[in-house]
Amino acid sequence: FLPHLVASMEQVDQTYIMIKPDGVQRGLVGEIISRFEKKGFLLKGLKLFECTKELAEEHYKDLREKPFFPKLIDYITSGPVVCMAWEGVGVVASARKLIGATNPLQAEPGTIRGDLAIQTGRNVVHGSDSPENGLREIELWFKEGELCQWTQVQVPWLRE
Ligand code: IDP
Ligand code: MG
């Protein structure tokens, strides 16, 4: 019985999760990572990173025309971020649920933003919005060799 092979027949996605500079400054790194870790997802990449304006602009290129775009780029480049790649069955949608609504006032209690943030412009964490963007963003933020291929010993206890 090879549980990781059985599970691979289900849809295994990857998502890019980023703790924004406010999350790092406020000492929420461990708290936020632990939400994904406890859920059972597989951590494939992790780093503390100071991103350039160019990278932030590329990451948020779909929002280029928004009035808040310059402030968003200033926010994301205002200090180190924590970059993470997580893998799992349905991880993109599941991570969005764990994170909660974009506006923390609308985010349910129990979600990261619902518990830990107040304003949209300081909403502590990013999560990819589709499996395609998950792959695009992981490729954008991580270099080759920065991701690990490994299997959790808990897989048979996480997946039927
Ligand atoms: P998401 O992070 O929940 O996917 P998006 O609409 O993709 O939300 O927006 C990306 C980020 O841009 C948000 O997380 C937030 O930091 C910022 N943002 C979105 N809308 C506003 C706004 O109206 N004012 C200020 N910042 C905003
Ligand atoms: Mg988004």
Whole-model pTM: value is 0.94
Residue 68 contacts by C-beta under 8 Å, 6 or more apart in sequence? Answer: 121
- Pocket lining: 146 vs ligand 1, CB cutoff 6 Å: no
Residue with tokens 């280029």: 64
Distance (Å) from CA 1 to ligand 2 centroid: 39
Residue 126 annotated to the active site: yes
Ranges under pLDDT 50 in the chain: 1, 7
* Amino acid 9: pLDDT: 60
Which is catalytic among the residues 35, 44, 59, 126? 126
* Amino acid 1: pLDDT: 46
Pocket test for ligand 1, best of 120, 125, 126 (most atoms within 8 A of CB): 120
* Amino acid 11: pLDDT: 86
What does the H/E/C string look like for the chain?
A: CCHHHHHCCCCEEEEEEEECHHHHHCCCHHHHHHHHHHHCCEEEEEEEECCCHHHHHHHCHHHCCCCCHHHHHHHHCCCCEEEEEEEEECHHHHHHHHHCCCCCCCCCECEHHHHHCCCHHHCCEEECCCHHHHHHHHHHHCCCCCCCCCCCCCHHHHCC
Tens of pLDDT, residues 125-144: 999 999 999 999 999 999 99
Any idea which ligand is nearest the CA of 99? 1
Angle between helices 91-99 and 29-39 (to 10 degrees): 140
